[in-house]
Structure 1
Amino acid sequence: MKLNIIKLKTKKNVDQLYVLSEQANETQTFALSKEQKPLCLFPLKGDLRGRAEMLNTGIRIRNVTRKDSGTYRCEISAKSEEGQRLGEATITLTVLVAPTMPVCEVPSSAMTGTVVELSCKETEGSPPSEYQWYKNGVALLEKTGTGSARAANITYTMNKKSGTLLFNTVTKNDTGEYFCEASNGIGLSQKCSVKRMQVDDLNVSGIIAAVVFVALVMALCGLGVFYAQKKGYFTSK
């Protein structure tokens, strides 16, 4: 989301105004004289070129983006009976940006008893987004305490700041359709697409059957080799 115009002003009536924007390791310097037209002591560089305009006691930035967030300092010079005096004012500009659609990582399958982590992230929102996970369309609860029955039944840890959903020991009950919602109080919240996670028990009987089958095949192969040796099939004539 972009804002069209931002104005940074000071309340002091001054002869000259210097506005320095320390953004992206680059210093922008402006000057304004009341008796003259607004002029720049140094050419505008970087993203502010063509978008910054001097006002009587401030600076206007058009088509503001998130990169314009930062600390702006005004150095003020005013004549008095004692001579030239300097003043300073600091303004912090935070550009508010609605979140974009987050990227969600949800495994399609998992085995019971294993550790499973789901992740959700978007990087455009300002201030940074918080994340809420949903299972089968129902918002998941945070485990905020250990005294309640509801908290005791929660088998996961949800971090709303980082967007992770961690199952230390996943169970079949955790099977379901998951999605995540990112919000930061600016504009509309954004959701990722729904993804299904299927949790199954480890098929012990199937593994045992496979091991027995492989052992049987190896035994038959060994017997075949032994029989061939007895018959002299491997002896050279």
Structure 2
Amino acid sequence: MTRLSKRQEEAVWRKVNGAGLGHEVLKEELMDHLCCAIEQRISMGEPFVQAFHAAFADWGEDEMKNVETETISLIQSNRFFMKKMLISLAAGLFLLTTTLFSMQQDPPSGLPLKGLTEVASGFGYRHHPILKQKKQHKGVDFKAPLGTPVYATGDGVVAKVDYDADGYGHRVIIQHDSEYSSVFAQMTSDVRVSAGQKVKAGQLIGHVGSSGKSTGPHLHYEVRKNGEPVDPEAYFSR
């Protein structure tokens, strides 16, 4: 896994230190937890700044203070037992439990376009309409009128918002958990989310366009499992 540089670790520490927590050991536990989360995102191809903001989108100052409050409450309510434990163990246990509940969820199963379920071009190898050669189609295409609203297909954090002139056009990538992500492409420039933002299933993220390598208005949609494209139709709950 990628290791953060000293300067990057200092940036994480300044952010944690600015939350105003009273326990140094708890701050160190949070520091370790956040550095690991950022390193994992960098290993998946995200730049540091984007991974930094995405990690702190899950752990804002209010969330950090809540962890401190819950940890202290756990210690005080179980004083005899907790005397035999280090505060770092209690904090680590609470962090692990919180992370498991927040990150483990079902794969993205919603439809990106409301009321439109017909797939114009499916997943797998096909004859590319522009390149005129057989290539793998990593997702599915929904043909829809220009400007049709596009919605998140599951809860998650926006990992990337960019523009790829030679392929995806205006693109949004949402990281749903440590395993699944979804890709929305060929949209208009009117993207409604930004990198690091938390989103909920059914939330508006953009509109159908014809940007990038496209022959007409449509939405290109992908589901990725551990970074590899899988057939999105296998996950739709119609």
TM-score norm. by structure 1 comes to 0.30
TM-score norm. by structure 2 comes to 0.30
Between 1 and 2, higher relative CO (CA 8 Å, sep ≥ 6) is seen in 2
Answer 1 or 2: which has greater helix percent. Answer: 2
Answer 1 or 2: which has greater strand percent. Answer: 1
